[in-house]
Amino acid sequence: MPKLIECVPNFSEGRDLNVIRQITAAIESVEGISLLDVDPGASTNRTVVTFVGTPEAAVEAAFCGIKKAAELIDMRKQTGAHPRMGATDVCPFIPVSDVSWEEAIACAKSLGKRVGEELGIPVYLYEKAANDPTRSNLSVIRAGEYEGFFEKIKGVAWKPNFGPAVFNERAGGTVIGARDFLVAYNVNLNTKATRRATSVAFDVREAGRIKTEDGTPTGKKVLDENGEPVRVPGMLKHVKAIGWYVEEYGIAQVSINLTNIEETPLHVAFDACVESAAKRGMRVTGSEIVGMLPKKCLLDAGRYFLRKQKWSEGGSEEELIDLAIRSLGLSELKRFDPKEKVIEFKIATEAKKPLVRLNLRQFCNETLSDSPAPGGGSAAALMGALGASLGGMVANLSAGKRGWEEKLDTFSGWAVKAQELKDQLLFFVDEDTEAFNKVMAAFALPKDSAEEKAARSAAIQAANKHAAEIPLRVMETALQSYPLLAAMAEQGNPASISDVGVGLIATRGCIEGAGLNVLVNLSDLKDEAVKTQLGHRVHEISDESEAAFEKISEVVETKIG
């Protein structure tokens, strides 16, 4: 996979669709850029744009977008609910694939230098790109917003990192940086009062609220020994939040930035708002994602809500995402489409039609056709996926069995493991066919000159090695299904013992079939050391498989009687 970096510029225009289209067209004009999402908000008067590309292409595209925004957006006339200081308010880079933090920081600094020098816009670096740790926080930099920055920028402490130390009256200033993935998330309340939404925001955000003597927002502030206001911390770490009223929806929201989704996941922020709102006599009615989010956020939320229901967490990826969308009320205001809002789904190319997206009849027809791929390797991986799925089915049935509630966590854990194995093996269904196609492509290379013959021979050897390694990984993955099947044979719902047996046979067939594919691809390799190493591993896994198969089969046959 090529180096990929995500860029999420926020433009201070959310109402004029013609302006927004011109900005995104400027971004898309750069070759190698994939525009993933454009999310305008009328009340906030702000559009969050998400795109990915190579580091070089992302910097160029971001510059084109910032330049076009400076031409089209006049900050002297701009108003909106969202805090802002410039036509392009903030522009972060986020590593996606094979991009280091050093490279992401270099992108931010390269872009900042160009924006400052070529466009005459003051630029501040933030988060991981910040030279000064006191400037790493976006809200600290943006304090005073557009209106207050004309004076703020005159202070020595607020000299820009790039560009003139004079505020750009039309374009304002821009904050550019490199950061972890941030999820912009709004929680909907059954009130129109900004003040009440702000109270919930203060309850949940890390910064909390300023302590007062009588506990009211307007009371006298409590000061520490240095004369600074004492703060009462909020419920959650890594959370920034404010309250606002959204005219287009007719409701107040808690607008949240989740800056560390590992430590404070989406569902935790949602439930914290539910708890705070309830204490204040309000209800959370739903929520919305601004921009995009990683798939993991929804998978974790789905498992969390299953745990709350005291149910097995071993649902499929599709089931977990659907449950998360419903539980978080992500479609309350407008339909939430995971294909459009989940970054992994959006990045995935639609050019190919993976085999795993075919229905059963289509897959069999494709296998039966006169095309050599998909062949035995893909079929073996599919058999392994079915073996793991049957083991997971028994785990889920056992987790839901009445009277077995104390075993829920155990069976749920096995079901989650089964889902992981199933997904890995389904991935190899397409990978095996791709590996075969690479072998065919290598054989099709020209061989007219000595140089071409040498290049062709090297390509064939590399492709054959790769084509042997893929089914070997299938074998190693399927081998992990045996502990699952053993546990289900010994502890699972006895009414499903035959399902365990079929899963066992499918797993063994997968490993033996994948082994044949490893060996057939090794036959054309000239590197004897590699042939010996991979061949030895095939026989090692086959022996382990046979021993596990025999042991679990005895349990299955005994229980079937």
- Rounded to whole angstroms, the Cα distance separating 446 from 529 reads 28
Dihedral angle at the C-alpha atoms of 382, 386, 391, 393, nearest 10 degrees?
130
Dihedral angle at the C-alpha atoms of 158, 164, 165, 166, nearest 10 degrees?
-130
Which candidate in 82, 89, 203, 499 is catalytic?
A: 82
- Residue 455, number of CB atoms within 10 A of its CB: 15
Any idea what DSSP says for residue 220?
P
Backbone angles phi, psi at 34, to 5 degrees: -115, 115
Decide if 47 contacts 11 (C-beta within 8 A): yes
Residue 232, beta-bridge partner list: 209
Dihedral angle at the C-alpha atoms of 98, 101, 105, 107, nearest 10 degrees?
0
Is position 448 annotated as part of the catalytic site?
no
Decide if 26 contacts 67 (C-beta within 8 A): yes
Decide if 468 contacts 524 (C-beta within 8 A): no
- Rounded to whole angstroms, the Cα distance separating 504 from 127 reads 51
Q: What is the largest CA-CA distance in the chain?
A: 89
Outline where 145-226 has alpha helix (H). Answer: 145-152, 194-204
Which candidate in 203, 300, 432, 499 is catalytic?
A: 432
Is position 432 annotated as part of the catalytic site?
yes
- Report, as residue numbers or ranges, the catalytic residues: 82, 432
